[in-house]
Chains A and B, each alone.
Chain A
């Protein structure tokens, strides 16, 4: 399997994506931003389609639109506007725009499929470098702001900060989330982002009771699903995201069962 360069690329990309998604996902699930993750992934679809239309890398389009949406959603949250309805409206608009951009760019249906369901087996070396750079940035930001981000996610009432600083931190967190959604979309596609961002972190809650433990267990589940998914895709010639989704859902159901048994 590893004699094929495309599989080596896929494993490198998958490993990086799984680590970043699980890391960010731990904070996302703690803050109950699962729905927002799904909305951001739809926005990422529009961003990638915009990239195809305007002729730049789809990942850059994803980052641009998800980051812009994160700023808008964060500002609404800080202004205490009930953001769920607004987020739904933004999602609907994003899907509409995505279809429009694909039509304007005369993109093939395989381009759309790649965005929606992921295309990690066709990932190029330059895309991997871009992914590595983005992943390093997200991990460095989380390391540097780990303590305030942990409090924001796990105990916002315990985060004693002035209103302005807290507002900025919320927007900063959403921007990190937007970046990780854009990164994760490369592997499982924008439709299945929550498979890697939220499911491993949600499953980890049955087994771990500390923030570091949750991050570690979440990474383990994400990596397991990704490596198994890639291997099964290679062996069966079926799409990678199908297997990753099945494995992560399986782990989640097993964690629920174990939670009930305890």
Chain B
């Protein structure tokens, strides 16, 4: 088991407003970790800090990331109606951001695998601009997965999906995470699937972080429970 993320007394604040006051945790590879929390709890702040630490490869900060290859799928992304590339070209574009222009045989295979894995074969050569919202979302994730990352960060990838499609996406991500031995950080508001499908939860609340086994998700962190409570009142 390899440590991918080590957070040691991390603090985040906007001006005088403290978002996270003294956060420490360690995450290893080969896990699907769901990051939970109310709006403004600091999910994006934490993930952005992790991403910056990974990209700058700082050795002295409060966050250390040991990942050679990082992929990130932001929550909002729209390539616009006149975006020219096909889904296949878009996925191939993201495989590598250095080195020679052409892809190796194995990189081409990773692109083809990602297209197949996320059910994009039938529309792979169509412009991504013409794809539906759900197809675009799958293409964004396929692009990230084709990079063969050690660390994959997904920012609310299922926010526009119904429960059936969310479960299908969870299954696809779970499978790729296990096959490629990566750490997946999945920011989510919807916790309905967490207990049965994720390994761990990272719950941000009261400026602190709780890390635990997904099957032991506290009732207070469970959105399905919160929805029931809201419904009663």
Residue of A nearest to B103 (CB): A147
**With A147-B98, A209-B125, A210-B85 in contact, do A154 and B55 touch (Cβ < 8 Å)?**
no
**With A30-B84, A154-B85 in contact, do A211 and B97 touch (Cβ < 8 Å)?**
no
Stretch of A69-77, A82-90, A157-165 at the chain-chain interface: A157-165
A147 to B97, CA, bound (A): 5
Structural contact, B99 and A155, CB atoms closer than 8 A:
no
Q: Shortest Cβ distance from B140 into chain A, in angstroms?
A: 8
A167 contacts partner chain B, Cβ-Cβ < 8 Å:
no
The count of chain B contact residues (Cβ–Cβ below 8 Å) is 30
Residue of B nearest to A153 (CB): B93
Residue of A nearest to B71 (CB): A160
Q: Shortest Cβ distance from B133 into chain A, in angstroms?
A: 16
Q: Shortest Cβ distance from A204 into chain B, in angstroms?
A: 8
Residues in A neighbouring B172, C-beta threshold 8 A: none
Residues in B neighbouring A214, C-beta threshold 8 A: 84
Q: Shortest Cβ distance from B161 into chain A, in angstroms?
A: 20
Residue of B nearest to A29 (CB): B84
Residue of B nearest to A164 (CB): B56
The count of chain A contact residues (Cβ–Cβ below 8 Å) is 25
- How many A-B pairs have beta carbons closer than 8 Å: the answer is 64
Residues in A neighbouring B77, C-beta threshold 8 A: 157
Structural contact, B143 and A158, CB atoms closer than 8 A:
yes
**With A209-B125, A209-B127 in contact, do A159 and B86 touch (Cβ < 8 Å)?**
no
B74 contacts partner chain A, Cβ-Cβ < 8 Å:
yes
A113 contacts partner chain B, Cβ-Cβ < 8 Å:
no
Residues in A neighbouring B52, C-beta threshold 8 A: 162-163
B196 contacts partner chain A, Cβ-Cβ < 8 Å:
no
Q: Shortest Cβ distance from A220 into chain B, in angstroms?
A: 16
Structural contact, B93 and A211, CB atoms closer than 8 A:
yes
B82 contacts partner chain A, Cβ-Cβ < 8 Å:
yes
Structural contact, B85 and A151, CB atoms closer than 8 A:
no
Structural contact, B99 and A209, CB atoms closer than 8 A:
no
Segment 189-208 of A: residues with Cβ below 8 Å from B? 205, 208
Structural contact, A205 and B99, CB atoms closer than 8 A:
no
B70 contacts partner chain A, Cβ-Cβ < 8 Å:
yes
B201 contacts partner chain A, Cβ-Cβ < 8 Å:
no
Segment 27-67 of B: residues with Cβ below 8 Å from A? 51-52, 55-56
A143 contacts partner chain B, Cβ-Cβ < 8 Å:
yes
